[in-house]
Chains A and B, each alone.
Chain A
Amino acid sequence: SQQGEEDPQALSIQEGENATMNCSYKTSINNLQWYRQNSGRGLVHLILIRSNEREKHSGRLRVTLDTSKKSSSLLITASRAADTASYFCATRGTNAGKSTFGDGTTLTVKP
């Protein structure tokens, strides 16, 4: 079984709508980060949530973490065409440990 599985695999919405992506994981974590990746490019850190936190906000991003369900969600509000990218969650078992990535959600925002 995989750590950090995102769903849906692909999401297509209209500009202005909200986009919600989910991530589930199997083992206990220290923290969870969400990253964005434009096609063929690098990973951009979006937001980190620690295991003792339940919700964090950053601009149009809202992340929740439910450690009892071993799941996290990323909400992008008022989406823009420029938000089109792949979004990955990555979990870490310890503060300095490796990140374990999911398969990602490909978000397409239509203008």
Chain B
Amino acid sequence: EPEVTQTPSHQVTQMGQEVILRCVPISNHLYFYWYRQILGQKVEFLVSFYNNEISEKSEIFDDQFSVERPDGSNFTLKIRSTKLEDSAMYFCASKGTTYEQYFGPGTRLTVT
């Protein structure tokens, strides 16, 4: 069964460094999303992406964040200058023509 994949599974970075989290959505899907989950808290929406542009973003998704679909298969989330409070699990999701939104296994980002 097709699935969303994410790399790396765990990323440790120092405060102020840039990180890129990578996702490979399900191949025929058109809608892409990033969410995050701070440890012990609920899953929060960051951004949605369709037709090569951002369709919606939350207040969390400030100028430090950007998304890109560089090659038609990958979907990336970049954090330009990481802060301690960016430590969280980051989930990518994708959706095709059906209603279901499928999530990847997540990347655990630890900012030290």
Contact = CB atoms under 8 A, between A and B. Distances in A.
Interface string B60-95: 000000000000000000000000000001010101
Interface string B8-52: 000000000000000000000001010100000011110010100
A88 interface: yes
Chain B interface mostly helix, strand, loop or mixed? strand
A102 B37 CA distance: 12
Nearest to A50: B99
By size class, the interface of chain B is: 20 to 34
B45 A100 contact: yes
By size class, the interface of chain A is: 20 to 34
Given A42-B91, A42-B104, A48 B56 contact: no
A99 B101 contact: yes
Contacts of B58: 98
Given A41-B106, A42-B104, A42-B105, A95 B45 contact: no
Contacts of A102: 42
B89 to A, nearest CB: 8
A45 interface: yes
A31 B101 CA distance: 11
Nearest to B3: A42
Interface in A81-111: 88, 90, 92, 95-104
A45 B91 contact: no
A95 B99 CA distance: 6
**Nearest 10 pairs of A and B residues by beta carbon:** A42-B105, A43-B103, A101-B43, A98-B45, A42-B106, A96-B31, A101-B42, A103-B42, A31-B99, A48-B100
